[in-house]
Amino acid sequence: MTDLARRCAELIRDVPDYPAAGVMFKDITPLLADGPTFGAVVEHFADVARRAGGVDLVAGMEARGFIMGAPVASALGIGFVPVRKAGKLPGPIMGASYDLEYGSATVEVHPATIEPGARVLVVDDVLATGGTAAATSSLIERAGGVVVGLAFLLELTFLPGRSMLGTRSLDVILSVD
């Protein structure tokens, strides 16, 4: 385990039965409140983008993907694409529905924010079932972008998230069994 992964593990809090019975929610707010660790996570994700040969945009999924992705885009001096829950963006939009461990949802994006051929890094806090990440990747590709990689703070390895992402490049700071 890397030093960054160890620091993250110490700061992520487990909340049982949230948002539904049987779900163990991973609360990252203590990590976000720790400036040096949060800064190190942002820099790690920026390095993922640099190793990918550079990116044009960072995409983050509502809501914690906004928190993780926007500072990465800022650190790289590039734009950020918010991937929103259904009904939160004015049109025209593109949407994709998916299942998660406690229900189903739809995400949407403004396709005009993604230029054809734009290289996009997808950033989020947790890779669980992979539905949100797969739907987001699909939306970016349908809009004409190229997903050069996905970066997550935490992966729940007991869920099938990784298998939902095909052969896309994946970076995870901390894996939890």
- Reply yes or no on whether 142 is catalytic: no
Q: In terms of DSSP bridges, do strands 119-127 and 103-109 run parallel, antiparallel, or are they unpaired?
A: unpaired
CB of 34 closer than 8 Å to CB of 11: yes
**Annotated catalytic residue within 7, 13, 51, 64:** 64
Using DSSP's 3-state secondary structure scheme, residue 43 falls into helix
Cα distance between residue 14 and residue 1, in whole Å:
19
**Annotated catalytic residue within 10, 50, 62, 101:** 101
CA distances from 10 to 4, 5, 113 (A): 10, 9, 37
CB of 123 closer than 8 Å to CB of 45: yes
**Beta strands per DSSP E along 6-71:** 13-16, 24-27, 57-61
- Reply yes or no on whether 141 is catalytic: no
Catalytic (active-site) positions:
64, 101
